[in-house]
Structure 1
Amino acid sequence: MSGRAPEVVRVATAAPYDVTVGRGLLASVPDLLRRTLPGVRRVALVHPEPLGALADDLAARLGEHDALTVLRLPVPDGEVAKTVTTAERCWTALGAAGFTRSDAVLTLGGGATTDLGGFVAAAWLRGVPVVHVPTTLLAMVDAAVGGKTGVNSAAGKNLVGAFHEPAAVVCDLDLLATLPRAELVAGMAEVVKCGFVADPAVLDLVEADPGAALDPAGDVLAELVVRAVRVKADVVAGDLRERGGDATGHPGREALNYGHTLAHAIERAHDYGVRHGEAVAIGCVFVADLARRAGLLDAAVAERHRTVLAAVGLPTTHDATPFDELLATMRVDKKSRGASLRLVVLHALADPRILADPDEGLLRAAYAATGPAPGEPHEEEAP
C-alpha cells in the first residue's frame, strides 16, 4: 500500500460505515469527522495515558480554526482500563461537560481503548456516535470493527458490554511502526485466525514471507490488514448481534471467536497479564487439536495452526494452569448456552462450525497437547 491510495472497506450493516486503511491518515481525521458527523462540535477523546503526545497532536488538529472542542479523557493502558470504574469516570466527565447526543466520542488507542471508549459511547444518553482510530494491529483488524464494546468483570472478560457500531474507523498503518514488536506479533494472531476461518490467502501470505508479514512499512502487512478487515466486515454484516449462522451450518459472527473461549480463560487466569493475541494463538491450537481428536479436522490442517503461528513468533504452548480452573471460566463464555459448552471448531479450512458439549476427555487431551514438549521449560521457567 506504500504510495497507493487508501482502501475503504464498507461494513454493510443496518447502519453502514467505512473502515479506511492507509498511510498518513491521522491528519485526515478532522475532515472525516466533519463529513461523517457534520453536526458534531464537541468530541471526547479517549486515549491511554502513554499515548498522550499522539493525543496532543490529534487534539490540536481537531481544534484548528475552532472547529471542534475537545474533551480529553486519558485512561490507563491495556486491559486494566476496562472496568466499570474507569467507564464511570468517563461518564462523570461527560456529564460535567454537558455532553449531549449531538456530541461524539473519539477513541485513539489499542483494543482495550476501543472496547472501553465504545462502551462509554454506547451507554452515555443510551448512545452517542463513536469514531475509532486504532493504533495497534489487533485493534485495526478486530476490536475497532464490528460494534462490540465492553469491560471486564470478576466473572470474566467482556461479559459486560453492548453492541454499538462506530460511525467510522480510520486505520493509519504508519502508527504500527511505533508498536513494540511483541505487540505487533500478538496482533497477528487475529489476522491468522481470519485466514483459518474465512480467507486462506492470509495463511499463504504469512507462510510465503513471515518477515514481510510483520514489516509495518511493507505492502504485505497492509494487504493482511485489509483482508482481515474484509473478513470481519462480511461476517458482521450477516450477523451483527451474534444470533446464529445460516442453514449451511456456518456459525455466523461466532466464527470470529475461533480460539477465544480458551484464550479468555487464560487471560483471566493470568489476571490479564497475558497479551490477548498470545492467548488467542494458544486457543487456536487447542481447538484445532480438539477438532482433530473429534474426527472433524484433517491432521495436516490442525498442524498448520502450529506452524503458521510459530512462524510469526506467536506461542503455541501454554504453562500448567490447571485445566479445571480454565474449564470453569470457559463454561460462562458468551457462546455458552445454559449448561452447554459451545466451541468454534473447523471441519476444514475456512469451514467453521459449532461443537457443542465436546467430551471432557477430548478437551483435557487437547489442552494437554498445548503444554510444553517433553524437556521444554514451562513459561515461568523460560530464560
Structure 2
Amino acid sequence: MSTTQKIAVTTPSASYTIEIGTGLLPFVGSRIDALLNGALTSGKQRAFVITSPEIWHLHGPTLLSGLPSEPVILEVPAGEQHKRLSTIERLLEELAQHGADRDSLLIAFGGGVLGDMTGYLAASYMRGIRYVQVPTTLLAQVDSSVGGKTGVNLAAGKNLVGAFYHPIAVYADIDTLATLPPAELRAGLQESVKAGIIRDRALFDFMEANAAAILSGDTAALTRVVADSVQMKADVVHADEREGGLRMILNLGHTLGHAIEAATGYKQLLHGEAIAWGMLAATAIAKRRGLVTVDEHDHIERVIITYGPLKPFTADPAELVTLTSKDKKARSGTRNFVLPKGIGDAVVVKDVAVEELTTTAERMMAMVARQAAA
C-alpha cells in the first residue's frame, strides 16, 4: 500500500486523525480494530455499517475483507431527499432490533448525506456512541466528514436539526473517487475551490493550474486537493469548533446554495453545484462592496466555471431570498453572509439587506437563464 497522509483534528471536545491515501480501503478494518484495542477481533464490540446499496455494491466487499468480524449492514437509499428525521428514526429502530449497545461502533460508508446522518445517528443512539467516517465521494472527503457537523434536513431548510459530534477517525481512500460519475467529481471539487477562495491561495492556484489533471482523476493531483482542503478545515475547526465566528467562513456560497437546494426540492442540483452558484452570487456581492476587485471577481468566477459546467435550475428569486432567512447561520433575525475578501481570505458580514440579496438573486437567475440558453 502506498504511503498515506495523516492530518490531526484537535478541538476542545475531541481529537482524531484523518488518514488520506490510495489503496487504503482494504486496511480500514484493521485500522479501526487497532484504534479499539482489538475489540472487534475479540467480539467485545460490534460494528454497524451505514451505507447505500450503490456504495455497498461498489466497495462493500473491499471494506468487508479487512474487518475482523462480520458487521451489520444498514442501508439507506442515496439522495438528499432521504436525509430526514424519518430515516433516522428507522435506523434507530434497526439498531435497537439488532441489539446495538453503548459499545457498538457505527461506520459511515458513503457520501456526505450518509456521513451527516450517521454522525447524528451516533450522537442520538443511547445518548452517544462512537463512529468512524469512511467517505467515498470527493465532497465527503474534503468537507463533510471533517469537523463533527452532523444533521438532517427539514422542509423549512437544510441541516436545521443536528449536533456537533466528532468521529473517532476518518479514512479517505482516493481510489474510491474513480467510480464517481463526472458530475459528482466536479460538484465535490467546488468545495475545494471554496477552500482555496476563503483561506488557501496556494490551493486555489494549484486547482487553477492543474484543472485538467484534477478533472481527469489524476491520483496525485486529487490527493493534493483532498489533503490541502482537509488541512484548511482542520485548522479552522481547531480555532472555532462550534461556529461561533471563524468557522462561518466555511459556508461561502452556502446561504444561497442551501436556498437553491430547498427551492428545487433537492432534485435539480447536486450540493456542490448549488454551492457553485451560491459562490458566484457571493462574489458578485463582494465586488459591488469593493471587497474584491473586478479582476479578482473575474478570476474567482473563471475558476468556479472551470470546475462546472454550471447546471441550470428553476427557482423564483423572491423564494430564494425568503429561504435565506431560514439559514442556520442566521442569528437574532440577521442573515450572516460569507463574502470573499480577495483570494485566500473571507469575511462574515451581517448587513446584507433584503434589497441587495434580491438584486443578487435576480442577477443570478438571469445568468442561469443565459446558461440554459447556451
Classify 1:375/1:144 alpha carbon distance in 2 versus 1 (closer, same or farther; 3 Å): closer
1:49 to 24, 48, 53: 53
Classify 1:334/1:375 alpha carbon distance in 2 versus 1 (closer, same or farther; 3 Å): closer
Amino acid at match of 1:94: L
Partners in 2 of 1:333 and 1:373 — Cα distance? 23
Partners in 2 of 1:261 and 1:375 — Cα distance? 21
Which residue number in structure 1 is paired with residue 24 of structure 2? 25
Q: CA deviation at 1:58?
A: 4.6
Q: Is the 8 A contact 1:138 1:188 kept in 2?
A: yes
Q: Is structure 2 residue 331 aligned with structure 1 residue 331?
A: no
Classify 1:191/1:283 alpha carbon distance in 2 versus 1 (closer, same or farther; 3 Å): same
My pick for the range that moved more, 101-110 or 360-369, is 360-369
Amino acid at match of 1:294: R
Alignment of 1:249-288 (within 5 A): 252-273=246-267, 274-288=269-283
Partners in 2 of 1:20 and 1:374 — Cα distance? 38
Alignment of 1:230-249 (within 5 A): 230-244=231-245
Partners in 1 of 2:312 and 2:293 — Cα distance? 23
Classify 1:336/1:91 alpha carbon distance in 2 versus 1 (closer, same or farther; 3 Å): same
Classify 1:370/1:74 alpha carbon distance in 2 versus 1 (closer, same or farther; 3 Å): same
Which residue number in structure 2 is paired with residue 8 of structure 1? 6
**How many equivalent residue pairs?**
367
- TM (norm. structure 1) is 0.91
**SS state at 2:92 partner:** helix
**SS state at 1:306 partner:** helix
Partners in 2 of 1:234 and 1:171 — Cα distance? 18
Partners in 1 of 2:81 and 2:315 — Cα distance? 21
Q: CA deviation at 1:348?
A: 2.3
Partners in 1 of 2:99 and 2:66 — Cα distance? 19
Amino acid at match of 2:34: R
Q: Is the 8 A contact 2:283 2:339 kept in 1?
A: yes
Q: Is the 8 A contact 1:174 1:217 kept in 2?
A: no
2:294 to 290, 299, 303: 299
Partners in 2 of 1:50 and 1:262 — Cα distance? 30
Which residue number in structure 2 is paired with residue 172 of structure 1? 173
Alignment of 1:1-383 (within 5 A): 4-14=2-12, 15-38=14-37, 39-40=39-40, 41-54=45-58, 56-58=60-62, 60-63=64-67, 67-244=68-245, 252-273=246-267, 274-315=269-310, 319=313, 321-373=315-367, 376=370, 378=372
Q: Which runs of 4+ in 1 moved over 4 A?
A: 317-320, 372-375
Q: CA deviation at 1:308?
A: 0.1
Q: CA deviation at 1:350?
A: 2.3
Q: CA deviation at 1:4?
A: 4.7
My pick for the range that moved more, 84-93 or 216-225, is 216-225
1:75-122 Cα offsets, whole Å, 9 max, x none, are: 010212211111111111111122111111001101101011111111
Q: CA deviation at 1:71?
A: 1.0
Q: Is the 8 A contact 2:135 2:141 kept in 1?
A: yes
**SS state at 1:11 partner:** strand
1:277-326 Cα offsets, whole Å, 9 max, x none, are: 000001011011111112222222222221001112242x8545222101
Partners in 2 of 1:177 and 1:99 — Cα distance? 34
**SS state at 2:153 partner:** strand
Classify 1:62/1:124 alpha carbon distance in 2 versus 1 (closer, same or farther; 3 Å): farther
Partners in 2 of 1:257 and 1:191 — Cα distance? 12
Q: Is the 8 A contact 2:29 2:63 kept in 1?
A: no
Which residue number in structure 2 is paired with residue 249 of structure 1? none
Partners in 2 of 1:59 and 1:194 — Cα distance? 29
Q: Which runs of 5+ in 1 are unaligned?
A: 245-251
My pick for the range that moved more, 151-160 or 30-39, is 30-39
Q: CA deviation at 1:69?
A: 3.8
Partners in 2 of 1:122 and 1:305 — Cα distance? 38
Q: CA deviation at 1:360?
A: 3.0
Partners in 2 of 1:279 and 1:173 — Cα distance? 24
1:337-375 Cα offsets, whole Å, 9 max, x none, are: 122111011222222111113133322332233234598
Q: Is the 8 A contact 1:81 1:116 kept in 2?
A: no
Partners in 2 of 1:205 and 1:260 — Cα distance? 23
Classify 1:331/1:94 alpha carbon distance in 2 versus 1 (closer, same or farther; 3 Å): same
Q: CA deviation at 1:37?
A: 2.1
Partners in 1 of 2:313 and 2:100 — Cα distance? 47
Q: Which runs of 5+ in 2 are unaligned?
A: none
**SS state at 1:370 partner:** helix
Identity rate, percent: 37
Partners in 1 of 2:312 and 2:322 — Cα distance? 18
Partners in 2 of 1:78 and 1:374 — Cα distance? 24
